Structure 1
Amino acid sequence: MATPAHCTYCFEILIADLEDREPLEYRQVLDLWTQYEALTKSKPTETEEDDEDEHDPDLQGRDDLEEDSEMDGLEEADEDEDGEDDAPPEELAQHASSKLSLPSISRLQASSPASASSASSTPSSLSTTSSNAALDTTSKSSSKTSFFSFGSRRSQQPSPAPPLKEEEHPLFVTWNTISPRSGNKSLRGCIGTFEAQELEAGLRGYALTAAFDDHRFPAISLPELPTLSTSITLLTNFTPASHPLDWTLGTHGIRISFSHHGKRYSATYLPDVAVEQGWSKEETIVSLMRKAGWKGRSGEWRDVKGLGVVTYEGKKASLGWAEWRGWRSWVEGLRN
């Protein structure tokens, strides 16, 4: 299932790209998040006054209106209040620069600062990619030495364990922005694939594609980082439905496909979209058909021949900027 560690890796990939630096490696992020989470849970509860002084508000948000790489997107019907409530760009930029004070990744590594070369390929199902969406893992690993030994002497370290077999899942990466004043959430980018991906490559590629190449939105920029949250959804249990309404609200995501006037259409909604929008199953089907490009009247959807529905379930995790920043600051402290 998706975990906050997967979300942390997506934040790390995006921010490293925006800062033009090398990101931490996937396994490092997962291991460090596990240690950070255990340490955080073991700490005694702080006073309310300390919490107010030392921690930013949790900007965690989640919303999953998705766009497959094959599909046309539909903008989400979020509350349109961010334009009035959000801080001006100058204020956000100042806010971001004051928070985003992490040093270059080269300061975190014991090896010489050899640069990594760009890779020539990204996940095969990406329709559009950022030029920095994938990095050559061989070059990266040769230019890095893990500094996360946590006090063990070099002579005492055991031989490296063989690499674990990587999980593969269809997945979606969603970016949202949270208004600092109102707390309203707005979709900022969401792209995924129904083709099973190794999680490291899939998360790395789609974190950047959803941030930079969702045609519904401009590319995410550095000043926006303090307002961001991300959600990762891993898709499972794909089942053809016997009828277009043979699925459960809040449990199933649906993917539809049909032909109309000689043209093929397809689109998908993740499991929580219909519930968040307050739609019935029939309203969800009509909205999804329109998302795919169908322009018929609401009552005519049943007349469309060959409407196929595949249901699936999604295992989702979310993380906000404040949580990522807390983890990254802790990582920075390990070298001191």
Structure 2
Amino acid sequence: MSSTDPLSEPLCDNDRETLLSLAKASIQHGLQYGRAITVDPADYTEPLRKRRASFVTLLMQGQLRGCIGHLEATQPMVSDVAANAFAAAFEDPRFPALSADELPQLSIHISLLTPAQPMTVGSETELIGRLQPGIDGLILQEGHHRGTFLPSVWEQLPDPKTFLAQLKIKAGLPSHYWSDTIRVSRYTTESFP
């Protein structure tokens, strides 16, 4: 993605704060009404109305409490963040629904994704050699198996070989699996706070 692409321009601090506040409001709305907050994109700045895929990650005391998102941009980013914040709090199948007493301890992180770029590789060794730790988010797909790791996962899995092996497991494949039909794409994120 070139630096002149408008999607790659970082948001200003006010827009970042707006998205974080919106994510929290959507979770609070979910606690009260059982659904995500309704967002009118026209009420937000032009950069926040752009179609952009997002992930919302929730942490409690540094531990994952929920993470839901989209890999492809299908709606304005304000709508995507509101929906994903609600889903991360109440619909992540790995965790029970968030309770009201957990909200004050919750830390909300937002990742805005660039469009995924397919990678053409001839082998697993070539793929591992081309990965950029700390920068690349990765999507791996083989048949109906699909998984992704955001770039932030490199903090827990800094070794490219381990990162890829764990992503295969997340996608429902054996850690040592490789095939000529496996598809891999990479993306980057703007993450905050």
- 1:239-297 per-residue CA deviation (whole Å, 9 max, x = no partner) reads 212223222000110001113xxxx21100001202x1143111111111111111x3x
Quick one: distance in 2 between partners of 1:175 and 1:252?
21
SS in 2 for 1:301: coil
The letter of the residue matching 1:247 is L
TM-score under structure 2 normalisation? 0.79
Matched, 1:132 2:2: no
1:9 alignment partner AA: L
1:211 aligns with 2:89: yes
Q: Residue 301 in 1 paired to residue 190 in 2?
A: no
Indicate the residue corresponding to 1:194 in structure 2. 71
Q: Trace 1:144-183 onto structure 2 (pairs within 5 A).
A: 164=46, 166-178=49-61
- Deviation of 1:208 after TM superposition, in Å, equals 0.5
1:140-189 deviation line (CA, Å, top 9, x unaligned): x9xxxxxxxxxxxxxxxxxxx9x8471110110111111xxxxxx11011
Report 1 or 2 for greater relative contact order, CA contacts < 8 Å, sequence distance ≥ 6: 1
Map residues 21-60 of structure 1 onto 2, 5 A cutoff. none
Report percent identity of matched pairs: 29
Gap runs ≥5 in structure 2: 1-9, 122-126
Letter of the 2:177 partner, please give it.
W
CA gap of 1:164–1:277, structure 2 versus 1, over 3 A, is closer
Q: Which residue of 2 aligns with 1:272?
A: 152
Instruction: State the one-letter code of the partner of 1:270.
Output: L
Three-state SS of the structure 1 residue aligned to 2:133 is coil
State yes or no: 1:286 paired with 2:170.
no
User: Over alpha carbons, which structure has the higher Rg?
Assistant: 1
2:116 equivalent to 1:233: no
What is the deviation of 1:313?
0.3
Q: Tell me the distance in 1 between the aligned counterparts of 2:30 and 2:169.
A: 35
Q: Does 1:8 align with 2:25?
A: no
Runs of at least 5 residues in structure 1 that lack an aligned partner in the other structure: 21-130, 142-160, 179-184, 319-336
Shift of 1:134: 4.5
Look up the equivalent residue of 1:18 and give its one-letter code.
L
On the 8 A contact 1:255/1:309 being kept in 2, the answer is yes
1:253 pairs with 2:129:
no
Cα distance in 1, alignment partners of residues 25 and 167 from structure 2: 32
Name the structure 1 match of 2:190. Answer: 315
CA contact (8 A) 1:241 1:247 kept: no
Aligned residue type for 2:163: T
Q: What number of residue pairs does the alignment pair up?
A: 171
- Do 1:4 and 1:317's aligned partners in 2 also have CA atoms closer than 8 Å? no
Q: Distance in 2 between matches of 1:8 and 1:307?
A: 39
What are the Cα deviations for residues 10-31 of structure 1, in whole angstroms up to 9, with x where unaligned? 11221233245xxxxxxxxxxx
Separation in 2, partners of 1:216, 1:283: 22
Q: CA deviation at 1:230?
A: 0.5
Distance 1:290 1:252 in 2: 18
Q: Measure how far apart 1:204 and its partner are.
A: 1.4
Question: 2:157 touches 2:163 (CA, 8 Å); kept in 1?
Answer: no
Counterpart contact for 2:59–2:107, Cα < 8 Å: yes
